[in-house]
Amino acid sequence: MRKIIALILAAMMLTVMFAGCATNEVENNDVISDNGTNATSDADYIIGKSKMTIGMTLFAPMNYYDDANEFVGFETEFAKAVCEKIGVEPDFQEIDWGAKEIELNAKNIDCIWNGMTITDERKANMEISKPYMANKQVMVVKAENLDKFSESIIGAAVVAEAGSAGEEIATADEFFKDAAFTAVDSMAKALMDVAAGTSDIAVVDYVASIGSIGEGTDYEDLVVIEEREFSPEEYGIAFRKGSDMATMVNNTIDELIADGTLDEIAKKYKLENLLIKE
């Protein structure tokens, strides 16, 4: 009887030992990449699949299709330059800007790289690169309405992209309290609404206005109300919280600044004066 009990106890001890080993094995391989290889960090995960999936929306001069249907823009070329140095292929994926953090955390994308304003809330929820470009929010109207909306926008129909800094300004700033606000799915749609006359004012990034309105664009009759600007901002690239890829990208940005590549890209899109080179 004693021998039987001893055998049972020995078997139980072996079971516990094997279970402990299995648990340690799982804990030591925290990140498993899509291609089935073990990755110990977010950078390993991205490099392991040989591509960086970049979440973006279409708006000039950041990411857009030119007249020859080529995918171009400051962010497009900037991301390609960074990816080339890191050794991965850029994979641009259009997203719903309002769901950008959900897409990031679900690993449908690896980063948000599309003129994203750095905020305290975003820094708390995501790992964000060093700032690389200055920006502000501006109001865009038809040229014929410039004087009308410079001082007062009582009763005006205002639009901004959902989830954007423009929406935050239009819904929180006292100046907009007597206007009627509607969120739309992109800055391009906001400008389109104003051009069509279905909305009076679009609150958009100043950077977006540089490449999207005025002479030589599809919206030659749209102008910025220069007397009104809101929320000085800085752009950053967002990764998953705790991602070491942010540090790798920061180091690569420093290299692109030092060798003049980033300045050269910015000049092509008339953004050189907004670059942050610190």
Q: d(Cα 27, Cα 196) in Å, to the nearest integer? A: 57
Mapped onto helix, strand or coil, the DSSP state of residue 143 is helix
Cα gap 170→245, rounded to integer Å: 33
What's the pLDDT score for residue 76? 98
pLDDT in the model for residue 15: 43
List of the chain residues with pLDDT < 50: 1-37
Within 90-153, residue ranges assigned H as helices are 100-105, 120-125, 146-151
Q: What is d(CA 157, CA 141) in angstroms, rounded to the nearest whole number? A: 11
Its sign, for the CA torsion 133, 135, 140, 143, is negative
Residue 211 has a pLDDT of: 78
So what's the pLDDT on residue 228?
Answer: 86
Using the structure block, give the residue that is written with the tokens 């970049």. Answer: 54
Q: Are 49 and 37 in contact (CB under 8 A)?
A: no
pLDDT of residue 39: 67
How much is the pTM?
0.78
Q: What is the pLDDT of residue 142?
A: 97
Cα torsion 149, 230, 122, 182 to 10°: value is: 0
**Predicted pLDDT at 227:** 87
The per-residue pLDDT for 113 is: 98
